[in-house]
C-alpha cells in the first residue's frame, strides 16, 4: 500500500533523515516533517473451495494501514532534498506481534535538480516508479491472494506468488541507490542498484479469511541486483499515453530447498507496460518475464515464469469503475519431471468518494491457483469474493 499526500505539519529538525513528501521550506529553516497516512479497512464475503479437508470462513476482515514521516527542503543552490520514512501497522492483518510485515517499510533520501533525482536508502526499485499498469478502483489485483489461499500442496518450496508485473518483488524496500532522469521529449531513464537485495518476499500466506499458513521456505543470498527502465509519457489532443520497458539482473546463490541441487549465480527479468487514456477512460496492460536458472549435475531447475495483466477503467471526480485480469505462470523442471504452477484472477471494482481523502470501495473477484497436478484437488484452489470497505487518506 502506498500513501497519498495530505499533511499535518510537525517541525522536528531531528527527523530530517526520516523521509519525504512535499513540504517546501526555506533553506535557512530546519526541515519540516509532515505526517501523512492511509488506512484501508475491508470486509469480505467469500466462497472458498475446501482444500485438503480444511474449512475456511465465509466472512473475513482485513486491515492495511500505513504512516509516513516526510518532508522536502529547497536549498539555496536550488537542489531539492527529500527525506521519507514509512511505517506499516497491521499491514494485511499482520500486527505488531509478527515482524514479518509490520514495522518500518521505506527509509530513503533523495536529491533532485535539473539533472534529475538521485535516491539512497531502503526503497522499491525505480522500475516500480515508472511502470504502467491498468487502473483499479478496489482492492487491487495484487491483494486477491489475501482472499484466495495458496494450495496446501503442489507448489514448489521457496516459491511465493509475485502478484506484480513490475520489478518490485526483486528489489522491494531494500538498501539501494537509484536515479530517475528529467523528462526529455516525454522520455525518462531510471536506474537501480542494490549490492545485496536480501530475501525475496516471504511466502507467508495471510488471508482476510482469518487463516494463515507458511507453505514454502524463502530463498536468500542474491547480490549485485541492478535494473534499468526506459519510459515515455505524453498527451495529444486529450489522449494520454504511458509506456515503459525494463531489464534487470542479479547474481547470487539462492538457497535451494531441493536436496542435492547447487544453484547457479544468475537471473534476469524483463517487463513492459502500456496505458492509454481519454475522457475518463483508461485501457492498460503490462507483462513480466523472470528467468532464474538453477542446476546441478543431474537436473536443471529453472525457477522462472511470466505474468501479465490487462484492464479497462472509467472514472469521474466522484466515482470510478474498473475491470482487471491478471495471470502468472511458474515454470521449472524438478527431479520429478516437468511442473507448471499458475495463478489467475478476474477483478471488477468500483469506488465512490464521500469526501476529500475518503473513498468507499468494493471489488468482486475470482481467484484460482493451479499446482503441478491438475487432477489432485489438494494442488488446486479457487475462491469467489465480494470485498468492500473504506479507504481513508490523511
Which residues are 233's β-sheet partners? 242
Confidence (pLDDT) at 281: 98
Residue matched to cell numbers 520489478: 167
CA 305 to mean position of chain CA atoms: 17
Taking the C-alpha atoms of residue 208 and residue 146, their distance in angstroms, rounded to an integer, is 6
Q: How confident is the model over 118-166, as pLDDT tens digits?
A: 999 998 899 999 999 999 999 999 988 888 877 766 555 445 677 889 9
- Cα angle 102-197-242, degrees, rounded to a multiple of 5: 85
Q: Give the model confidence (pLDDT) of 203-235 as tens digits.
A: 333 322 322 222 333 334 456 889 999 999 999
Q: Set out the domains of the chain in order of their start, with CATH numbers.
A: 39-63+116-393 (2.40.160.10)
Cα 65-158-170 angle, rounded to 5 deg = 55
Determine the straight-line distance between the first and last CA of the chain, rounded to whole angstroms. Answer: 14
What rounded mean pLDDT belongs to the chain? 77
**pLDDT > 90 fraction of the chain, expressed in percent and rounded:** 45
At 340 the pLDDT is: 73
Specify the pTM: 0.80
For the chain, counts of helices (H) and of strands (E): 1, 21
Q: Which three cell numbers stand for residue 139?
A: 482492492
Position 53 confidence tier, pLDDT thresholds 50, 70, 90? low
Amino acid at each position: 500500500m502506498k500513501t497519498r499526500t495530505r499533511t499535518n505539519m510537525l517541525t522536528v529538525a531531528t527527523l530530517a533523515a526520516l523521509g519525504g513528501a512535499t513540504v517546501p521550506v526555506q533553506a535557512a529553516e530546519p526541515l519540516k516533517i509532515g505526517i501523512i497516512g492511509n488506512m484501508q479497512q475491508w470486509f469480505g464475503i467469500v466462497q472458498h473451495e475446501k482444500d485438503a479437508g480444511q474449512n475456511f470462513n465465509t466472512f473475513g476482515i482485513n486491515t492495511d494501514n500505513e504512516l509516513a514521516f516526510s518532508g522536502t527542503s529547497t536549498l539555496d543552490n536550488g537542489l531539492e532534498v527529500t527525506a521519507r520514512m514509512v511505517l506499516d501497522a497491521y499491514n494485511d492483518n499482520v500486527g505488531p506481534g509478527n515482524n514479518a510485515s509490520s514495522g518500518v517499510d521505506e527509509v530513503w533520501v533523495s536529491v533532485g535538480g535539473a539533472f534529475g533525482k538521485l535516491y539512497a536508502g531502503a526503497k522499491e526499485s525505480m522500475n516500480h516508479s515508472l511502470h504502467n499498469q491498468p487502473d483499479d478502483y478496489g482492492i487491487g489485483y495484487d491483494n486477491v491472494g489475501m482472499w484466495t489461499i495458496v494450495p496446501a500442496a503442489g507448489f514448489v518450496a521457496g516459491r511465493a506468488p509475485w502478484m506484480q508485473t513490475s520489478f518490485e518483488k526483486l528489489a522491494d524496500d531494500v538498501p539501494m541507490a537509484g536515479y530517475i532522469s528529467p523528462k526529455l521529449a516525454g522520455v525518462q531513464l531510471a536506474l537501480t542498484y542494490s549490492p545485496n537485495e536480501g530475501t525475496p518476499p516471504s511466502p507467508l500466506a495471510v488471508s482476510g479469511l482469518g487463516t494463515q499458513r507458511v507453505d514454502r521456505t524463502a530463498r536468500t543470498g542474491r547480490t549485485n541486483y541492478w535494473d534499468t527502465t526506459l519510459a515515455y509519457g505524453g498527451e495529444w489532443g486529450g489522449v494520454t499515453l504511458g509506456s515503459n520497458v525494463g531489464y534487470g539482473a542479479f547474481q547470487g546463490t539462492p538457497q535451494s530447498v531441493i536436496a542435492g541441487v547447487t544453484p547457479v549465480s544468475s537471473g534476469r527479468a524483463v517487463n513492459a507496460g502500456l496505458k492509454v487514456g481519454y475522457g475518463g477512460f483508461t485501457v492498460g496492460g503490462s507483462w513480466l518475464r523472470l528467468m532464474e536458472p538453477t542446476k546441478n549435475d543431474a537436473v536443471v531447475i529453472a525457477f522462472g515464469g511470466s505474468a501479465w495483466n490487462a484492464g479497462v477503467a472509467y472514472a469521474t471526480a466522484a466515482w470510478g469503475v474498473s475491470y482487471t485480469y491478471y495471470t502468472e505462470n511458474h515454470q521449472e523442471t524438478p527431479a520429478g519431471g516437468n511442473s507448471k504452477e499458475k495463478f489467475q484472477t478476474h477483478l471488477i471494482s468500483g469506488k465512490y468518494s464521500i469526501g476529500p481523502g475518503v473513498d468507499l470501495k468494493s471489488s468482486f473477484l475470482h481467484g484460482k491457483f493451479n499446482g503441478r497436478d491438475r487432477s489432485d484437488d489438494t494442488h488446486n484452489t479457487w475462491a469467489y469474493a465480494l470485498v468492500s470497505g473504506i479507504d481513508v487518506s490523511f
